[in-house]
Amino acid sequence: MARCGRCKGRGEHRPIGLGPDVQCEDCGGTGEKQPPKPRPRSSVEYEKAASICEFEGRVPGRQCYGAKTWHHIVPKAKIVKRLTSGKWVDTALTKRITAALADSRNLKQACFGCHLGLIETGNPAAQVTEDDLPAGFAAFVAEYELEPDVPRHLQEVIAA
């Protein structure tokens, strides 16, 4: 990458000594600071957040934004801890953990803003209620023996 003296940080414009056809890539040979080049867009395709967020409207006046994320009703760390406690982790157990983490019976869609701003901070407005539970949540908990790890406000739903 060929740069002139100003662009190398010397503070003054010195032409590049590589010939008349070679110009500084940063200033284009003018010696003047150029506006920054636009950054390439992220490869993440952002969907309209309100169309994907299941927590929309829980807090009045709050707008949904950002990419789609998945919220685990029973937290990921508790699933991994419960499934690996006192066991030798082999390929079969790793596959079982991966399957449990990807199981749609424990997932809710949320936009990035609601996931970090409401759910992860413990905002009561973002708590998953009995009506919000995905179909088969109780079967998921029973299948992976996660009864003690279900959030307290949902313990009664699982017990019934």
CA–CA dist 30, 15 (Å, integer) = 9
Q: What is the pLDDT of residue 102?
A: 92
Lowest-confidence pick of 49-53, 95-99, 131-135, 148-152: 49-53
Q: What is the pLDDT of residues 21-61, one digit of tens each?
A: 666 666 766 666 667 666 545 444 444 444 568 887 787 87
Q: What is the pLDDT of residue 111?
A: 84
Nearest-CA neighbor of 113 among 45, 41, 50?
50
Q: What is the pLDDT of residue 132?
A: 84
Q: What is the pLDDT of residue 46?
A: 44
Q: What is the pLDDT of residues 72-129, one digit of tens each?
A: 999 999 999 999 988 888 999 999 999 999 999 999 888 888 888 888 887 888 888 8
Name the pairing type of β-strands 68-72 and 107-111.
antiparallel
- Residues 11-17 have a mean pLDDT of 56
CA–CA dist 140, 132 (Å, integer) = 15
pLDDT bin (cut points 50, 70, 90) of residue 66 is confident
Lowest-confidence pick of 7-11, 61-65, 67-71, 77-81: 7-11
Q: What is the pLDDT of residue 65?
A: 78
Is residue 2 within 8 Å of 22, Cβ to Cβ? Answer: yes
CA–CA dist 6, 98 (Å, integer) = 53
Phi/psi for 109 (5° steps) reads -80, 140
Domain residue spans of the chain: 1-38, 49-159
pTM of the model: 0.63
Provide the strand spans (E) within the chain: 68-72, 107-111
